[in-house]
A and B are shown apart, each in its own frame.
Chain A
Amino acid sequence: MATSKKRASQKQFTYVIAVIAIIGAGALGWMATRPKSGGTEIDPNLPVGTAEGFVLGKPDAPVQIIEFADFECPACAQFAMLTEPDIRARLIDKGLVSVKFYVFPLPMHKNTWSASNAAFCANEQGKFWEMHDRLFYTQDLWNTLATSNPDKKMKAYAEELGLDASKFNDCYDSQRHYPNIKASGIEAQNRLIDETPSFIIGGKRYPGSLPYDEIKKLVDAELAKVGAADTTKKGAK
């Protein structure tokens, strides 16, 4: 009697394990094979346009920082929110530095092309940097985890920034800047950039979200090379 009870219990146990195994394997299989929804599907045959960098500050500033960033990368947003305000106030506004920004859309970020598209279209109306800031400061509201359809959000941002909605929507929907976005990514790869954000200062690559003090040190070294006045003398700290 006890043995048959034990056998029945063992049988039940086998059924439970089998059910869990089937459900688990099925769920994993479905996730691994489902079409990757959300975001923009990029045509692999998309032509390559012109790599366009967006400049902030005086183009003839003694030091130029080149930044490669992905609008959906959390470290890039952190840099934009925590470090960039200091760079703008203490280095760019004093005419010591200019920043040239290239988008570098990474393949794991499904909404980054939409965000880049919005920034390029905002640039048509002279508001690239306003859109740049809006995208980074609200990244958690439109990234892949937040939505699979970022278009609505991008168009809403354009309106909030006072852009001509009709022109912006035309530009955004036409995706006419996609070849240029692709070219920017290729530019990053050509310069051996393999993470975002990354910076080029004085011809050298610096990967990662650099703190202000480190950037200031690098800028000072470049200023010394070109013989420009020390940033401290000009009031930068």
Chain B
Amino acid sequence: MIIAALALVGLFVAMYLWFFKLGLIGSLSCKIGGCEKVNTSPWAVFLGQPVAMWGVLYYVAMFATAFASTLERFADDRRAALALVVLAGWGVAFSGWLTYLELAVIHAVCMYCVISAIIVVIVFVLAVVEWRSTERP
């Protein structure tokens, strides 16, 4: 449940950055760090699409999986828990790469990216705990 709630928060953070890329919200509200510098850099694009758009899709997948795992019929299903571990693990790796780029290449930190990175780390820890607690068939 906590994972689904966190995924929803992450989804709105990613949507905010995506809306910025689409030009819907003017400039980013960013009191700490260089959000605009990060989000207008060449590294803000992945496979031809804004990283923020991938973030939206990622969090939608995470929310859907986490939500499904709260349903009674999936309560003891290890597959849902494993899917969350894999999703969150990918998120941690990707966020780690983006954080490296911010610190070492772009030399600016986007606080929304930091929030997203914190969310995926917490989700990863919770997902591993959840997975380990589910009974083996």
Contacts and interface: CB of A to CB of B under 8 A. Distances in A.
User: Are A and B physically bound partners?
Assistant: yes
Contact of B1 (A13, A31, A38, A74): A13
Given A20-B9, A28-B12, A28-B15, A145 B27 contact: yes
Q: For chain B, give the interface size range.
A: 20 to 34
B37 interface: yes
B76 interface: no
Interface in B1-24: 1, 4-5, 8-9, 11-12, 15-16, 19, 23-24
Given A28-B15, A31-B19, A16 B24 contact: no
Contacts of B36: 145
Interface residues of B: mostly helix, strand, loop or mixed? helix
A1 B15 CA distance: 40
A24 B8 contact: yes
A156 interface: no
Contacts of A21: 8
Contacts of A110: 26-27
Contacts of B24: 32
Contact of B27 (A13, A16, A17, A144): A144
Given A24-B11, A31-B16, A17 B5 contact: yes
A20 B5 contact: yes
Interface string A136-174: 000000001100000000000000000000000000000
Contact of B19 (A9, A32, A108, A145): A32
A189 interface: no
Nearest to A16: B5
Contact of A17 (B4, B12, B30): B4
Interface residues of A: mostly helix, strand, loop or mixed? helix
B70 interface: yes
A24 B9 contact: yes
B12 A74 contact: no
Nearest to A111: B27
Given A74-B37, A110-B27, A28 B70 contact: no
A72 to B, nearest CB: 10
Interface in B25-58: 25-30, 34, 36-37
A108 B15 CA distance: 19
Contacts of B4: 13, 17
Contacts of B12: 20, 24-25, 27-28
Contacts of A13: 1, 4-5, 70
A32 B24 CA distance: 6
B16 to A, nearest CB: 6
A191 interface: no
A81 B11 CA distance: 39
A9 B71 CA distance: 12
Given A16-B5, A144-B27, A145-B27, 8 more contacts: A13-B1, A24-B9, A24-B12, A31-B29, A74-B37, A108-B23, A110-B27, A145-B30
Interface of B: 1, 4-5, 8-9, 11-12, 15-16, 19, 23-30, 34, 36-37, 67, 70, 72
